Structure 1
Amino acid sequence: MTEPLILKVRTTATADQVYAALTEEKSLTTWLAEYATVELPERYEFWGASVPEGDAPHQQLVTADESSLAFTWLLDGEETSTEIAIAVENDETTITLTQSHFDFNDVITGASIRGVLQTFWSLALANLVDSLEGRTITARGDFTSSTLSATVEIDAAVDAVYDSLISSEKVTEWFGYPIEIEPHVDGRFAMGGIENNPHPAIIVDLVPNERVSIDWGPGGIGTWELEGSEGRTRLTLVSSGFDTNNPPYAGWLGNLAGLAELRRYHEITDWKPITVAA
Structure 2
Amino acid sequence: MSEPMTVRARVQAPVKEVHHALTDAATMRLWLAEHAEVDLPDRYAFWGRHTPEGDAPHQRPLHVDDHTVRFSWLLDGVDTTVEFGLEEDSPETTIVSVSQTHFDFQEALSETTIRGVIQTYWCLMLANLAEHLEGRPLTPKADFTSSDLRAEVLIAASAEKVFDSLIDSESVTAWFGFPIEIEPRVGGRYAMGGLANNPDPAKIVELEPGRRLSVDWGGVGIGTWELAESGGKTRLTLVQSGFDRSPYAGWCGILSGLSELRRFHEVADWSPIWVS
TM-score category, normalised to shorter length: over 0.9
**Deviations 1:16-36 (CA, angstroms, capped at 9, x unpaired):** 110111111111000100000
Equivalent residues in 2 for 1:7-156 (5 A)? 7-89=7-89, 92-156=93-157
Q: CA deviation at 1:66?
A: 1.1
**Corresponding residue for 1:263?**
262
Q: CA deviation at 1:151?
A: 0.3
1:250 is the counterpart of 2:235: no
1:210 is the counterpart of 2:179: no
Looking at structure 1, the residues matched to 131 and 261 of structure 2 have their Cα atoms a distance apart, in angstroms, of 12
Say whether the 8 Å CA contact 1:168–1:181 is kept in structure 2.
yes
What TM-score, normalized by structure 1, do the two folds share? 0.97
Give the alignment's Cα RMSD to 1 decimal: 0.9
Say whether the 8 Å CA contact 1:158–1:231 is kept in structure 2.
no
Q: CA deviation at 1:133?
A: 0.6
> Partner letter of residue 10 of structure 2?
R
**Corresponding residue for 1:237?**
238
**Corresponding residue for 2:168?**
167
**Deviations 1:51-85 (CA, angstroms, capped at 9, x unpaired):** 00000000010000111100000000000000001
**Corresponding residue for 1:201?**
202
**Deviations 1:184-238 (CA, angstroms, capped at 9, x unpaired):** 0010000111011000010000000000000001010000000013431000000
* Worse overlay, 88-97 or 144-153: 88-97
Q: CA deviation at 1:105?
A: 1.2
Looking at structure 1, the residues matched to 251 and 139 of structure 2 have their Cα atoms a distance apart, in angstroms, of 13
Identity percentage of aligned residues: 55
Q: Please identify runs of 4+ aligned residues in structure 1 that moved more than 2 A.
A: 89-92
Looking at structure 1, the residues matched to 90 and 147 of structure 2 have their Cα atoms a distance apart, in angstroms, of 43
Say whether the 8 Å CA contact 1:15–1:93 is kept in structure 2.
yes
Segments of 5+ residues of structure 2 without an aligned counterpart are: none
| Secondary structure of residue in 1 paired with 2:142 | coil
**Deviations 1:125-144 (CA, angstroms, capped at 9, x unpaired):** 00000000101101111111
Looking at structure 1, the residues matched to 11 and 257 of structure 2 have their Cα atoms a distance apart, in angstroms, of 17
Q: CA deviation at 1:3?
A: 2.2
Equivalent residues in 2 for 1:179-190 (5 A)? 179-190=180-191
> Partner letter of residue 179 of structure 1?
I
Looking at structure 2, the residues matched to 26 and 175 of structure 1 have their Cα atoms a distance apart, in angstroms, of 30
> Partner letter of residue 182 of structure 1?
E
Looking at structure 2, the residues matched to 219 and 2 of structure 1 have their Cα atoms a distance apart, in angstroms, of 27
What TM-score, normalized by structure 2, do the two folds share? 0.98
Looking at structure 2, the residues matched to 3 and 16 of structure 1 have their Cα atoms a distance apart, in angstroms, of 28
Looking at structure 1, the residues matched to 238 and 169 of structure 2 have their Cα atoms a distance apart, in angstroms, of 19
Segments of 5+ residues of structure 1 without an aligned counterpart are: none
| Secondary structure of residue in 2 paired with 1:204 | strand
- Paired residues, what number? 275
Say whether the 8 Å CA contact 1:9–1:95 is kept in structure 2.
yes
> Partner letter of residue 152 of structure 2?
T
Looking at structure 2, the residues matched to 49 and 110 of structure 1 have their Cα atoms a distance apart, in angstroms, of 18
| Secondary structure of residue in 2 paired with 1:266 | helix
> Partner letter of residue 62 of structure 1?
L
**Corresponding residue for 2:273?**
274
Looking at structure 2, the residues matched to 118 and 66 of structure 1 have their Cα atoms a distance apart, in angstroms, of 24
Looking at structure 2, the residues matched to 99 and 194 of structure 1 have their Cα atoms a distance apart, in angstroms, of 32
Looking at structure 2, the residues matched to 229 and 145 of structure 1 have their Cα atoms a distance apart, in angstroms, of 28
| Secondary structure of residue in 2 paired with 1:269 | coil
**Corresponding residue for 2:192?**
191
Q: CA deviation at 1:90?
A: 5.3
